[in-house]
Amino acid sequence: MNATDPAAAPLPAPQPRTDDRTLLVKVFGKDCPGITAGLFATLAEFGVDVIDIEQVVTRGRITLCALVTPPAGAGAEGGLRVTVHRWAEEQKLQAEIISGTGDNRPRREGRSHVTVLGHPLTAAAVAALAGRVSEAGGNIDRVFRLAKYPVTAVELAVSGLPTEQLRAELAPEASALGVDIAVVAAGLHRRAKRLVVMDVDSTLIQDEVIELFAAHAGCEAKVAEVTAAAMAGELDFAESLRARVALLAGLDAGVVEKVRAEVRLTPGARTLIRTLKRLGYQVAIVSGGFTQVTDHLVEQLGLDFAAANTLEVADGRFTGRVTGEIVDRAGKARWLARFAEQAGVPLAQTVAIGDGANDLDMLNAAGLGVAFNAKPVVREAAHTAVNVPFLDTVLYLLGITRDEVEAADESDGTPGE
């Protein structure tokens, strides 16, 4: 019989029915090497089958649970209980064995991942969010920590509610509590290779590039005033861009090198991009700023795509105009779609990050839109908001843990930020 013949494959182990007897074996105490191996070696003496395992270690204390079939034979279960308790005592652990039937209840329809970021994450915030899930008819099936610094990040696996409803339930609560949450649907798509598109000014970098240029032209205050109104959604972006760029007319274009040197990356930016690239993501920037700066960022950070406005230069000086298609609010959404097409990624598997009103169309068009330290109008409209000054916290929204990031950096000798 051919080895690839399905008939040659071993049959899967029979799954317990809901009325089949099972034993829940739980041990807990101070962690040390060999506990998991020791427990299962003890259980193996009785020929039981393993149905489920859960283990967690918190501050050096282990809780290990094994759901197993009862041993066959008269008196065998009593022998198992005595042997497990004796082994646990030798290990200075406590043991509990509970008889029951079946496996865990199946998770209900409507499955989501809820990432909670706190700086700090208070017990009151966790209580309020968990209570809101319960009141809305959902259930928290699992909780684990993603990061302990620079923020505390935990992920909740929630079932029983549609993702959009769960997001609507939790977002106001999180805002009132001063914590950030992201609610995304569970499924394989979360692990798919994606495209991440970022705004530049006040997102990837800490600065507003036009204000850096304006400082050299002596009109910084006037430009900053117009910029603030545009980002808050009080002015049409294209109109405000033309007005601000006009103030740069006559400025020596050689100032570009100085401005590039003045640009400050947002804390965590390099970690975010480096980690995404390791995972096979493609990373793009789209900016209402200028190619004179974004081209340098592409080269510096190894980005895949970029779009921005271009300051017109004549006779070595800025003319006070931009050339080509203006990258405004609608333009950013168009570039997101173009980048996704070039990357071969459906829009549902894109992530957009931005802070200003001109990012809103892009944030709403993406599969996940993240408002990063954003203006109120943006926080209210985006899928989720992050209000801590560390760009790499976006990794936690994608289910990537701090330990995984640090292990990858350590393996290739990359220094942290």
Backbone angles phi, psi at 303, to 5 degrees: -80, 160
- SS3 call for 128: helix
Q: Of residues 31, 199, 328, 355, which has the active-site annotation?
A: 199
Task: Pick the catalytic residue from 180, 201, 361, 392.
Answer: 201
What is the spatial distance between Cα 387 and Cα 196, in angstroms, rounded to a whole number? 19
Residue 348: partners with Cβ closer than 8 Å, 6 or more residues away:
189, 367
Q: Which two tokens stand for residue 212?
A: 């850096």
Catalytic (active site) residue 252: no
Give 151-219 as a DSSP string. Answer: SEEEEEEEESS-HHHHHHHHHHHHHHHT-EEEEEE-SGGGGS--EEEE-TBTTTBSS-HHHHHHHHHT-
Sheet holding 282-290, edge to edge: 317-323, 305-314, 282-290, 195-198, 350-354, 368-372, 384-386
Compute the residue count for the chain. 417
* DSSP three-state, residue 350: strand
* Burial classification of residue 370, based on how many CB atoms lie within 10 Å of its CB (0-12 exposed, 13-18 middle, 19 or more buried): buried
Cis previous bond, 120, omega within 30: yes
Q: Determine whether 20 is an active site residue.
A: no
How far apart are the C-alpha atoms of 332 and 146, rounded to whole Å?
A: 31
Catalytically annotated residues = 199, 201
